Chain A
């Protein structure tokens, strides 16, 4: 594992450089602490440390309520991820197909789904499809557009992984007499997957983030429950802070889990 660039840059400092670094570190620490103190002071002067804005966080019912919201988020995100991973594979196969008849529509679908915002697709499911007579349930009005949108990106991620597998593997497999399907599913795709796991997990994080649009279709998830707490206790800043922290924690946990898997592409 090669050394990090900054370690090389700042390796073996002279005594003077060491002293400068120490002083700079202390100054940086002080400045950051002052910044933090400034924020805390602002909270205080705006009365945000008032007990009535925080006391309900001590009750288990509050956390149970937030937990229910989080479950709603995860239920939608999990299904959307499944849709994205499977549909993404279908789109990839279409994209890699030999015949133009299959390849061009696949490219068109991928570019269309990648090129439009997820929120727009959600509005389409909520407002436009019913005009055409298609009435999905609330859950699917959120999960389907998020899944479709992510599927297109996943297809491209799969493709990048497939392209990164050395050609020699494909050639060797073909020379052994394997069919194209066998080459793909047994040799190329498994290796491709190991390259792209971090990128796939990054998409999973994006899926969780997209579910925050659930309130647009009246799907009950974490943001919605946050608004109920705010209506009950008028505690805007603390509730939104806690909810934001919850989202960050969940996504951070998902990202961390990915670091244990997969190997880099170069």
Chain B
């Protein structure tokens, strides 16, 4: 897109006024980029048809920096919500897309983000069917915030519920942990360090769909360990199901560079955010086959079985350390803070 034709270099308060400037922004960027039958009606909302049960999930994205190694806030806003819908055992179909833009955002950056939303939506097979753009005064936001809500059709074979989990179930992680959080950390103001760590932001819906096709109700739970990391999600699961979770530190997929970066910054990778990873809790009988299916998919090539559900130590996650000791894995409290020395 040639930005000189737009007649503006930055987004200003007028673009959120609802008047002709708003219409200009929508016509020249939003409608032009997404160009689908829903948005082209330019109505207040869209009407869609679903055959059966619907899964709905919403998420707001406020990441800083908005551009990072391996992605930007636009694709993150699509993948994050697509994955949340997929974790419900559903096939994501539609997304809403709402921007809150701080005045002064370069139009080039806005276009990059919108294009990235479009690219990620196409890749995951979802359509943007409604949206909103608001502009706030400088200092009242942080460049751009995005909210997306996803709608998906529940997979006919899916029966995803923590209630289905029983002792002996295996806990499987689909990929290398802590990649996203450390990629962001390496670029955050004041902490910059050189690394080639990239965010793992990606859609997981096709892999999830594949697993549901093959294993159906033998898959008891999907969760994506985004904020709070693997530790927080496993702790939540243990508390919810009132059973124990036993995991082996040795089996947790962790790339060396990420491990080293965590070590240097005094962070525990178990608490660092992920974007392109999910946990599957599955019947022990199909665990090996699930792992094999996942490993044969590019998005699950680093899949590993990290432990199992137990009757022992209910409500707690216990990790066997590399040296054979045991420790509790607690949920994250507040933000993970770097240590002094």
* A associates with B: no
Please list the residues of chain B having a beta carbon within 8 angstroms of any beta carbon in chain A: none
Please list the residues of chain A having a beta carbon within 8 angstroms of any beta carbon in chain B: none
